């Protein structure tokens, strides 16, 4: 498979879910589409230069979230997104689970947050998560363990209330 | 194997992700392809660089350059977005693959928005502790962070000289000066183009579109015709100088060769080709070993006396900053700004200036370079989009490190106080710093951290005490001797008679958990 074919296949298979991941974490579907598209564009450039990804969807998710977190891009990309995309998707009535996950993620240090997103949201395993983040399996497990302690009781409560 | 909690979490979160998995764009593949095409058009860097600093932010537009690409109409190229790969640098501190060059100091190191270009340099066997004869180099290499690979530059027309080479980014690569010899390297073609010799040796260089500017040569170079044109003499002569390009002016500060004189400065407007004298620097800012950079809205200057200040060209005003809180790090500093942060690098210290003008000293123990013998020749720094690149000469090899500053300061968990690494408790931040050299034999760094109403005052210096009610603690944790004041909450850790840190908190706290280690200069 050529680099172009690999990227195209990944876009077809992963784009919608990755938008869902970024949208849930950021609370903005406008921003999510912009960020995921930008991340795929960067991945495409690198693939053409021969860069080999440990896990393309994981890479795209991490880059897209970094993009979305950047305050400077947020205003510009939201304006661009609103100009191009319609109708707006209303995320104001987020299910409680999404709110809980988002709040919990915001409270995590960067490394833990990245591990949680890749493992629980992008649905990677520990070894792949570790390779994408260039850390050891042990580091990922520790990060997930700490995140689980925070998330599990909150999510159970949110589900009961829903 | 995932346990039940794990499975439960995955199911719950997975369902929530699915409800957010709604997209509006009809053809995402087409949308992404269009982005790739747009990014390719914006690839080349346009903004001018200062003698030693390159700033690129994701959205900064420093100006537009009209370029002719031969057959077609001139096209306008705006400043690019960065091409730095984010997950590649998920580690906070990384050492890049080795460069394919013989070891050298005093190389030109230039970041052009896509590649880090290294050219020239020399070996001073005495200072660098190497074998053989002193030697100079006329070769170079370029590092691409996207692929983490080096490539050798083609043979250049520039001679190796004893003058330290200097470079600046251009739209298509870099321009390098070696003494009075100047040439431009094209990145895509890996070819060089020579220019006329400069009227005098070039020690600083900035690029504004098609024009290169040099204070030291007191001339401008037209990059399309390759010819130099002299400038009027500046209103004052600066014997030792550092400069930064703001996008509109070349700001040059420095001073006479007499030591301990306050620095002064001039600014060149390339449009009018006129120099103006700028406001004098604050009284303590000596011209000795000054470094400057432009952070997008102001000049940031620091010297090896730990003094720092900012300059606003619009109001022509300098504002003194708190002294740089780096003890014992009296090396020639570098100042590097990448919009989101400004770093002052002094030997083993990297201190970050945050948006509210608070200094955040990063832990030296996490930095990959050792003691610096002569920082001025052996250190080069560049910065872009959250990453500080540091090129260093370490013994018989060069190394390129990438320090992910934005990750380290987003939620700093460890800081450097004097020669000690301290862990910040969760939710705590730096409130103030102070470098106290009122006693030149007992320089002390003070950092106040806090969370809400709770504060700790940290101080690192020689021969501190905790008061008469001291209790010696038999605890060899981290190789330190501990004492605490039985009547208060004050702790003291001592590595040697010249390396101590006191921790004085409002509420009772075991300071041994906060003090992670000590890295005195020269400890490797």
Question: Per-residue pLDDT tens for B416-432?
Answer: 998 888 999 888 989 99
Cβ contact B413–A98 (<8 Å): no
Please state, in angstroms and rounded to a whole number, the distance separating the CA atoms of residues B304 and B333. 6
Interface pTM, i.e. ipTM: 0.80
Kindly report the average pLDDT of chain A as a whole number.
Answer: 75
Write out chain A residues lying below 8 Å of B12, CB-based: 97, 155, 159
Check whether A81 has a pLDDT greater than 50: no
Cβ contact B22–A70 (<8 Å): no
- B5-21 tens-digit pLDDT: 788 888 888 888 888 78
- Alpha carbon distances (Å) from B158 to B51, B136, B176, B192: 18, 12, 8, 9
Residue A153 pLDDT level (bands cut at 50, 70, 90): confident
Write out chain A residues lying below 8 Å of B58, CB-based: 70, 72-73
Please state, in angstroms and rounded to a whole number, the distance separating the CA atoms of residues B398 and B130. 13
Cβ contact A63–B90 (<8 Å): no
pLDDT: is B199 or A1 the higher one? Answer: B199
Return averaged pLDDT per consecutive 10 residues of chain B, 524 residues in all: 74 81 83 77 30 22 23 22 48 85 92 90 82 92 86 95 91 94 94 95 93 95 94 88 92 76 90 94 82 91 88 95 78 78 83 88 77 49 76 84 77 84 89 81 85 92 77 74 83 83 88 83 47
DSSP secondary structure letter of residue B363:
P
- B23-59 tens-digit pLDDT: 778 889 988 988 887 655 443 322 222 212 222 222 1
Q: Are A115 and A129 in contact (CB under 8 A)?
A: yes
Mean pLDDT lowest among A52-66, A115-129, B128-142, B241-255: A52-66
Write out chain A residues lying below 8 Å of B86, CB-based: 62-63, 66
Cβ contact B35–A76 (<8 Å): no
B490 pairs with which residues across the strands? B504
Mean pLDDT lowest among A67-81, A113-127, B71-85: B71-85
Q: Note the pLDDT of residue B79.
A: 25
DSSP secondary structure letter of residue B105:
B
pLDDT: is B414 or A146 the higher one? Answer: B414
Stated as kind and residue range, the H or E segment containing B229 is strand B227-230
Q: Note the pLDDT of residue B477.
A: 66
Report, in this order, helix, strand and coil percent for chain B, each rounded to 5: 10, 40, 50
Both tokens of A88, joined, read 């707006």
Q: Note the pLDDT of residue B80.
A: 29
Q: How many CB atoms lie within 10 A of CB B478?
A: 15
Check whether A128 has a pLDDT greater than 80: yes
Residues across chain B: 524
Q: Indicate the pTM of the whole model.
A: 0.66
Write out chain A residues lying below 8 Å of B33, CB-based: 44
């Amino acid at each position: 498979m050529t680099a172009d074919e690999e990227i195209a296949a990944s876009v077809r298979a992963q784009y919608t879910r990755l938008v869902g991941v970024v949208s849930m974490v950021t609370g903005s579907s406008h921003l999510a589409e912009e960020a995921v598209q930008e991340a795929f564009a960067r991945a495409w450039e690198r693939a053409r230069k021969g860069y080999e990804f440990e896990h393309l969807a994981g890479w795209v998710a991490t880059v897209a979230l970094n993009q979305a977190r950047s305050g400077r891009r947020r205003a510009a990309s939201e304006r661009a997104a609103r100009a191009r995309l319609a109708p707006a998707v209303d995320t104001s009535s987020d299910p409680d689970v999404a709110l809980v996950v988002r709040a919990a993620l915001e409270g995590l240090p960067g490394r833990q947050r990245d591990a949680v997103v890749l493992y629980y949201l992008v649905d990677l395993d520990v070894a792949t998560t570790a390779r994408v983040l260039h850390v050891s399996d042990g580091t990922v497990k520790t990060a997930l363990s700490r995140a689980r302690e925070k998330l599990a009781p909150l999510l159970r409560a949110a589900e009961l209330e829903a | 194997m995932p346990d039940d909690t794990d499975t439960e979490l995955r199911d719950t979160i997975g369902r929530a992700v699915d409800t957010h998995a709604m997209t509006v764009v009809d053809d995402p593949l087409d949308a992404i392809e269009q982005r790739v095409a747009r990014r390719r058009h914006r690839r080349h860097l346009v903004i001018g660089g200062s003698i030693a600093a390159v700033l690129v932010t994701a959205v900064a537009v420093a100006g537009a350059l009209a370029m002719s690409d031969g057959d077609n109409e001139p096209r306008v190229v705006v400043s690019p977005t960065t091409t730095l790969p984010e997950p590649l640098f998920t580690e906070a501190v990384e050492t890049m693959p080795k460069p394919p060059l013989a070891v050298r100091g005093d190389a030109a190191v230039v970041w052009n928005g896509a590649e880090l270009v290294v050219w020239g340099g020399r070996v001073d066997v005495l200072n660098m502790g190497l074998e053989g004869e002193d030697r100079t180099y006329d070769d170079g290499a370029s590092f691409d962070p996207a692929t983490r690979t080096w490539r050798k530059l083609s043979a250049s027309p520039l001679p190796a000289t004893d003058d330290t080479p200097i470079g600046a980014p251009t739209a298509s690569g870099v321009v390098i000066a070696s003494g009075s010899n100047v040439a431009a390297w094209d990145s895509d073609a890996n070819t060089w183009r020579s220019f006329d010799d400069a009227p005098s040796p070039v020690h600083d260089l900035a690029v504004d579109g098609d024009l290169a500017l040099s204070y030291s040569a007191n001339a401008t170079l037209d990059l399309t015709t390759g010819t130099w044109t002299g400038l009027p003499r500046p209103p004052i002569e600066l014997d030792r100088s550092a400069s930064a390009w703001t996008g509109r002016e070349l700001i040059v500060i420095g001073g006479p060769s007499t030591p301990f004189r306050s620095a002064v400065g001039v600014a060149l407007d390339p449009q009018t080709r006129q120099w103006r004298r700028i406001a004098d620097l604050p009284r303590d800012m000596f011209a000795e070993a000054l470094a400057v950079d432009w952070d997008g809205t102001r000049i940031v200057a620091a010297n090896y006396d730990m003094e720092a200040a900012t300059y606003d060209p619009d109001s022509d005003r300098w504002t003194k900053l708190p002294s740089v809180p780096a003890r014992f790090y009296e090396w020639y500093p570098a100042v590097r700004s990448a919009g989101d942060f400004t770093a002052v690098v002094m030997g083993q210290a990297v201190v970050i200036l945050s948006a509210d003008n608070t200094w955040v000293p990063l832990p030296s123990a996490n930095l990959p370079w050792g003691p610096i013998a002569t920082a001025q020749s052996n250190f080069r720094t560049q910065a872009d989009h959250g990453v500080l690149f540091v090129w260093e000469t370490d013994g018989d090899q060069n190394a390129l490190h990438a320090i992910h500053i934005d990750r380290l300061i987003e939620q700093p968990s460890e800081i450097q106080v004097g020669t000690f690494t301290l862990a910040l408790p969760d939710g705590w931040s730096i409130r103030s710093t102070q470098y106290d050299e009122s006693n030149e034999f007992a320089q002390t760094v003070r950092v106040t951290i806090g969370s809400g109403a709770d504060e700790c005052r940290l101080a690192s210096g020689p021969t501190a005490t905790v008061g008469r009610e001291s209790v010696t603690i038999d605890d060899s944790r981290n190789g330190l001797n501990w004492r605490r004041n039985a009547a208060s909450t004050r702790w003291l850790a001592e590595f040697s008679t010249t390396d101590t840190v006191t921790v004085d908190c409002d509420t009772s706290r075991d300071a041994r958990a906060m003090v992670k280690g000590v890295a005195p200069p020269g400890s490797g």
